[in-house]
A = this chain, B = another copy of it.
Amino acid sequence: MTYELYYWPEIQGRGEFIRLALEQAGADYVDVARGEGEDLPGLMHFMKDKSVPEPPFAPPYLKAGDLLIGQTANILLFLGGRHGLAPAEEGGRLWTHQLDLTVADFLVEAHDTHHPIGSGLYYEDQKPEAQRRAADFLAHRVPKFLGYFERVLARNPAGTGLLVGKDVTTADLSMFQMIAGLRYAFPKAMARIEPQHPGLVALHDRVAALPRIKAYLASPRRIPFNQDGIFRRYPELDP
């Protein structure tokens, strides 16, 4: 079966968490709105067409045979179970999902550094608020989240340097993406904060070196970070 991923074609955004899981799974997938068969109407169909009984609120969503699955962490839950990117037993599966959901919370806060007032407004219309929010995010929230995930790494009874058990999970892939994104958006702050979280830095490097992820990152399938995504580099937010 070929999965169909529906996401905006020009950003990493939330879709990137799904792309990383599909790539690490070695799954057969089409990124529907991108490339030769570029299909934005197809992307919009599932949100807009009245014939869709279970419409997603927003991309990304994944078509897997008859299933249409929305919400990033929900898709990861599904793919993790199908492709061994989460433990098979209930406790490990829920724990991995819990970590994916905590990454999702962290991601919203990263987004809101440049859009603290309204996602429908331009950044330029909320710059003073963005500066306050980004300062709070970098001073308090980034250390809190990274400190949390560093503790999770340290306490993993398997002692593998991974977040869950012995094998790579969606949580590891998602944490890689968070760190990569934070480095892009806040290079100065991350240079200060990172050394306090050596386990996460090592995890980032380890995920980047996984053969399938390494090949993906070097391919044109990996969209570069840019100023339309969730992670954006505004120097005034990273003084």
Contacts and interface: CB of A to CB of B under 8 A. Distances in A.
Given A53-B157, A55-B152, A57-B102, A97 B116 contact: no
A90 to B, nearest CB: 7
A77 interface: yes
Interface string A40-58: 0000000000101111110
A78 interface: yes
A117 B136 contact: yes
Nearest to A145: B57
Interface string A55-92: 11100000000110111011001100000000000110
Q: Is the interface of A mostly helix, strand, loop or mixed?
A: helix
A221 interface: no
Contacts of A54: 95, 98, 152, 155
Given A66-B91, A73-B101, A102-B71, A50 B116 contact: no
A214 interface: no
Interface residues of A, number: 47
A192 interface: no
B94 A69 contact: yes
A52 B155 contact: yes
B98 A70 contact: yes
Nearest to A144: B57
Q: Could you say which of A94, A108, A151 has the most chain B C-beta atoms within 10 Å of its C-beta? A: A94
Contacts of A155: 50, 52-55
Interface string A86-122: 0000110011011001100100100010001110110
26 contacts: A50-B155, A52-B155, A53-B156, A54-B95, A54-B98, A54-B152, A54-B155, A55-B148, A55-B152, A56-B98, A57-B102, A57-B105, A67-B90, A67-B94, A71-B102, A74-B101, A77-B97, A78-B94, A112-B112, A112-B116, A116-B117, A117-B132, A117-B136, A118-B133, A118-B136, A121-B136
Interface of A: 50, 52-57, 66-67, 69-71, 73-74, 77-78, 90-91, 94-95, 97-98, 101-102, 105, 108, 112, 116-118, 120-121, 126, 129, 132-133, 136-137, 140-141, 145, 148, 151-152, 155-157
